Amino acid sequence: MMEVVIAVVVTVVGMWWWRRWRGQQKEVLPPSPVGGLPVIGHLHLLRPPVHRTLLELSSRLGVGGAPLMHLRLGSTHCVVASSAEAASELIRGHEASISERPVTAVARQFAYGSSGFAFAPYDTHWRFMKRLCMSELLGPRTVEQLRPVRRAGTVSLVRDALLASASSSSVDLTRHLIRLSNTAIIRMVASTVPGSVTDEAQDLVKEVAELVGAFNAADYIAVCRGWDLQGLGRRAADVHRRFDALLEDLITHKQLARDALVNTTTTMMQGDKQHKDLLDILLDKAEDDTAEVKLTRDNIKAFIIDVVTAGSDTSAAMVEWMLVELLNHPDALRKVQQEIDAVVGGDRIVSEADLPRLPYLQAAYKETLRLHPAAPIAHRQSSEQITLLGRGFTVPPQAAVFINVWAIGRDPAFWEDPEAFRPERFMPGGAAEALEPRGQHFHFMPFGSGRRGCPGMGLALQSVPAVLAALVQCFHWKRDCQQEAIDMEESDGLVCARKNPLLLRPVARLNPFPAVV
């Protein structure tokens, strides 16, 4: 009897290994860099900033580099696309198979499990929230209605710079821009929040961004899972608890205001409906019994965290990169200022409404997006095995798919003199004249592309160039040190920001200066 059992076990195990071996023969993974190690794979090869390291590793593979590269990050297979063609085949050819996003342990905590939007699985809830984002929450009508909130923030920034100018003081623009973008996005979420809530939210947003962007060994190395060796889980739990308490206060405050509004006249109610913030819209949907998906309180809180953390540092980083590029290229800066002077004049501060008449400013913004996309790597995850027919490679199921947007924007196959800052390439007659950063062109997709493209793109295309325009219209920005150019060193993390604070001295450019009070 024992011999029969042993024979059956050997047969079953043998068949399993045979099928696994046969499956591996059919899989042809993209090329990998040498130096992979047991347990950790290629993790030791990654250095910050990761988007540059990934391009460097892929460039070593074969003649001219490998547009598609395979890495093993601990226990996780990872496929990296570094060319427009590879990205196109993945997104356009296999969109349904890479519609998920890798969810880290920290991200899952801030998403209230699966209640959020940014890292939610591609299901009915995600599709409902995507439609809600595009049509209402971050749609053109809401972005337009909340323009006064963003305008107030820009005016406040100009006022602070004017005070510094009067005393010949330097300004930490990095800190001011982060505060501006945080305050603007928080007040777009809940327009009546007290200033103390805004200040507290700023600190929490910074901590969330650091935690979500930090490398966590438990996400990649199987033997580390459940141990919290780096203490990130404990820190995330503390920040989540504080953020949750703040969001509860925010929602309670809003609900009390909405209840009070019910007792007012119909005229006042109608007037309020014309100026709803994002929290109003979310609560309306939560109270709608006919909605396709019933939003819970956790859904609302998770979405607010998504919007605030994704929309704050990214906008600030883009304004800063654009300003630094213009300061390092005085001819381009002069063209932007001359265009604003001709269209707007000097008796008022440029606004978002002026943007359609400022094509060179828009070209300079597109060039900044090409060189410095706020999210340099688009993260996806395969839900099933993918065979890339055009390349003969296989992407395993549950593999992390990284699309190196930063590398694609500098690909010499598409961009002449790719490292140079040349807004003229996007002007009439330029090689990139017809390109828009909305994800239709795979060699220029700073906001991603496909189903997981950034839903806040429309807001970013309005807010970032308007803030930059006000800064260069109202002030000359001087460096206290004698360096020829401002450094372009990048920080590491989910958002590609400058590494060092931007310290500049504003000098009033307009005389008389427009009223800013």
Q: Is 387 exposed, middle or buried (0-12, 13-18, 19+ CB in 10 A)?
A: middle
* DSSP string computed for 127-156: HHHHHHIIIIISSHHHHHHTHHHHHHHHHH
Cα distance between residue 405 and residue 375, in whole Å = 8
Please give, one letter per residue, the 3-state secondary structure of 357-385: HCHHHHHHHHHHHHHCCCCCEEEEECCCC
Decide if 351 contacts 466 (C-beta within 8 A). Answer: yes
Please name the helix (run of DSSP H) or strand (run of DSSP E) that holds residue 69, with its range, or none.
strand 68-73
Backbone φ, ψ for residue 382 (5° rounding): -80, 135
Residue 474 assigned to a binding site:
no
Instruction: State how far the Cα of 163 lies from the Cα of 161, in Å rounded to an integer.
Output: 5
- Burial letters 336-372, b for 16+ CB under 10 A, else e: bbebbeebbeeeebbbbebbeebebbbbbbbbbbbbb
Q: Using alpha carbons, select from 121, 32, 41, 120 the residue that is nearest to residue 79.
A: 32
Angle at 68 between CA 64 and CA 73, to 5 degrees: 120
Q: CA–CA separation, 77 vs 54, rounded Å?
A: 14
Q: Are 374 and 495 in contact (CB under 8 A)?
A: yes
Binding residues: 454
Binding-site sequence positions for heme: 454
